[in-house]
Structure 1
Amino acid sequence: MARSTTHSGGCLCGDIRFEATGPAARPHTCSCAMCQRHSGALTVCWVEFPAAAVCWTGPGGAPATYRSSAASSRAFCPRCGSTLGAIDDAPIVALVLGTFDRPGAAALKPLAHSYRGGRPRWWCVEIAP
């Protein structure tokens, strides 16, 4: 039987923590206006997991959410304000890579870039093979 991989992470203050188990899906970067506003960054790195594979383990429980579109809510820590990701109706939880304890893990490496046209011309995002 294959061993499942568990990725852990959390917010800046540590009140919201998570464990995401299983294979990461759709690791990508995004430069859409909504991601930019949500994160304060020109580009955000994301990875998705089925909602059932994400467990909120910190003392703060699940993150606070803001309904940002017809299909998704943005997740953040109500204590420190850290961006954590998006909780989709699909049910998918998309977590931002900067919140992972090991954001450089090979399984989390972005493979594509969404909304490339949303970035300023001087901002270069390159996804290496």
Structure 2
Amino acid sequence: METREYLGGCLCGSIRFRATGTPGNPHTCSCTSCQRHSGAPTLSWVEFPSHAVEWTGEGGMPALYRSSDYSSRSFCPTCGSTLGAVDDEPVIALVTGSFDARDDAALQPVSHSFDDSCPAWWKVPAAG
């Protein structure tokens, strides 16, 4: 069985990543932390085991901001691009907008967290 590889990075290209395997928990989130981290009403995420993510760009690993008791938000220190979250558990969550091949079906969200935090004007259409 072939191992899938997903490539991506920040706006300026300094931070790049390679994630291998199958993305887990593809979802959108509208919690206050995601909104503040991205400047958008909703973020789309997928998760990989931390051993499956390699930071390959000249900038190395992204900068981290401790955002909760169990996780740090990651971003490029040069251009400020949101890249994801590095959890204390062995998980790295990557925002789907940072992937090179964003149309990959494995990145499609299947659930939405904190939809009650969405602005009244923002509603994600139901899939299907």
TM range (shorter): over 0.9
CA RMSD of aligned residues (A): 0.7
**Amino acid paired to 1:79:** T
1:9-64: CA deviation from partner (whole Å, max 9, x where unpaired): 00000000000000000000000000000000000000000000000000000000
**Amino acid paired to 1:38:** H
CA distance in 2, matches of 1:66, 1:105: 29
Distance 1:117 1:67, change over 3 A: same
Query: 4+ residue stretches of structure 1 with deviation over 2 A?
Result: none
**Amino acid paired to 2:111:** A
Q: CA deviation at 1:125?
A: 1.0
Map 1:17-56 → 2, pairs under 5 A? 17-56=16-55
CA distance in 1, matches of 2:59, 2:43: 24
CA distance in 2, matches of 1:21, 1:70: 27
Map 1:37-76 → 2, pairs under 5 A? 37-76=36-75
User: Normalised by the size of structure 1, how large is the TM-score?
Assistant: 0.97
Partner of 1:106: 105
Identity of aligned residues (%): 60
User: Normalised by the size of structure 2, how large is the TM-score?
Assistant: 0.98
Q: Unpaired runs of 5+ in structure 2?
A: none
Give the paired residue count. Answer: 128
1:89-111: CA deviation from partner (whole Å, max 9, x where unpaired): 11100000000001110111100
CA distance in 2, matches of 1:126, 1:89: 33
CA distance in 1, matches of 2:126, 2:65: 30
Partner secondary structure for residue 126 of structure 1: coil
Partner of 1:11: 10
CA distance in 2, matches of 1:42, 1:16: 24
Distance 1:113 1:79, change over 3 A: same
1:63-84: CA deviation from partner (whole Å, max 9, x where unpaired): 0000000000000000110000
